[in-house]
Amino acid sequence: MRRLIPPASLIVLATLLMAGNAFGWSFAVCGDSRNDKNGILPKILAEVERSSMEFMIHTGDLENGGGEKKWTGFRGRTKEFTKPLYFAIGNHELHDGGTREGFVRFFGLPRATYSFDHKNAHIAILDTLDWKSTGDTIAWLDNDLATHPKGRNGIRHLIVAMHVPPRTDNIFPHGTPDNYGEISGKLFKVLKEHGVALVLCSHEHMHLVDDWNGIKVILSGGAGAPMVFFQQYGYYEIDLAGDTPREIFHAVKP
């Protein structure tokens, strides 16, 4: 006689299957693909395309300048990539006639600062370039994270991505104003208050994983721009299978 599975066991089994589907996933992050004379970005895209990673975030400086001509060239280099590709605006997007409004319009973004949900993660992407209104950006982030807290609608991970990294004990981003340490402190307060575990950025042409007083900051600026000495080209895979995000560095040879 065939034994029937008790209803309670079915519920547990279904919960485990749903958890495996929601939690066992990853995505890619890279930045600074400008001046890509070695074809690094196409290799990154091809690897991510072949992998189980579900999308990629590019943290800015797509090309060595902005405007539709440069962005059209970038779109041509990425046309074979079929997975979602999200962007943070970089400082080089505003060179050579590029504008924030043009960037948003060309790539079909809701605005330069925006957010989205994917499975059990809420990801906010910030415009860190307009220093005069950075306070407004941090206020927007505070409200966005309050609207998408951990535990609501299955959200387990809160992640923030941007081009220019915050100033930490180990990261001193170039081209920032004198009060950028103060701005970073205000950002840190909001991130900590809402339980953000991970910040993704680039701008510096290197790779670094920093512990910012309990918040992990991953700097990944190796998608094609000239690298700092002794640094490798490459990108990070962000694995969200556990309670905290785990990074895996993938080197890419020129």
Half-sphere exposure for 57 (CA within 13 Å, toward CB): 31
Structural domains in the chain? 24-251 (3.60.21.10)
**Per-residue confidence (pLDDT) for residue 7, from 0 to 100:** 52
* 117, 145 Cβ separation under 8 angstroms: no
Separation in Å, CA 155 to CA 38, 121, 145, 147: 39, 5, 11, 11
| Section 157-182 average pLDDT | 95
Give the span between the Cα atoms of 90 and 102, in whole angstroms.
Answer: 13
| Residue 102 scores a pLDDT above 70 | yes
**Per-residue confidence (pLDDT) for residue 130, from 0 to 100:** 78
| Residue 237 scores a pLDDT above 60 | yes
In degrees and rounded to multiples of 5, residue 234 shows phi and psi of 160, -165
Q: pLDDT class for 160, splitting at 50, 70, 90?
A: very high
| Residue 10 scores a pLDDT above 80 | no
**Per-residue confidence (pLDDT) for residue 14, from 0 to 100:** 41
For the chain, percent of residues with pLDDT exceeding 90? 85
In degrees and rounded to multiples of 5, residue 236 shows phi and psi of -110, 140
Give the span between the Cα atoms of 158 and 117, in whole angstroms.
Answer: 10
Least confident of 39-53, 83-97, 122-136, 150-164: 122-136
23 versus 172: the higher-pLDDT residue is: 172
State how far Cα 99 lies from the chain centre: 21
| Section 55-77 average pLDDT | 96
72-88 confidence digits (pLDDT tens): 999 999 999 999 999 99
| Section 188-197 average pLDDT | 97
Cα-Cα-Cα-Cα torsion 76, 55, 110, 164, nearest 10 degrees, comes to -90
| Residue 18 scores a pLDDT above 50 | no
| Section 96-123 average pLDDT | 96
| Section 179-189 average pLDDT | 94
For the chain, percent of residues with pLDDT exceeding 70? 90
| Residue 122 scores a pLDDT above 50 | yes
| Section 96-108 average pLDDT | 96
| Section 100-117 average pLDDT | 96
**Per-residue confidence (pLDDT) for residue 132, from 0 to 100:** 61
Mean pLDDT of the chain: 91
Number of residues in the chain: 254
| Section 192-201 average pLDDT | 98
Contacts 24+ apart (CB under 8 A), 46-54: 46/80, 47/250, 47/252, 48/81, 48/83, 48/235, 49/80, 49/81, 49/82, 49/83, 51/237, 52/25, 52/26, 53/26, 53/27, 53/28, 53/83, 53/237, 54/25, 54/26, 54/27, 54/83, 54/84, 54/118
Q: pLDDT class for 23, splitting at 50, 70, 90?
A: low
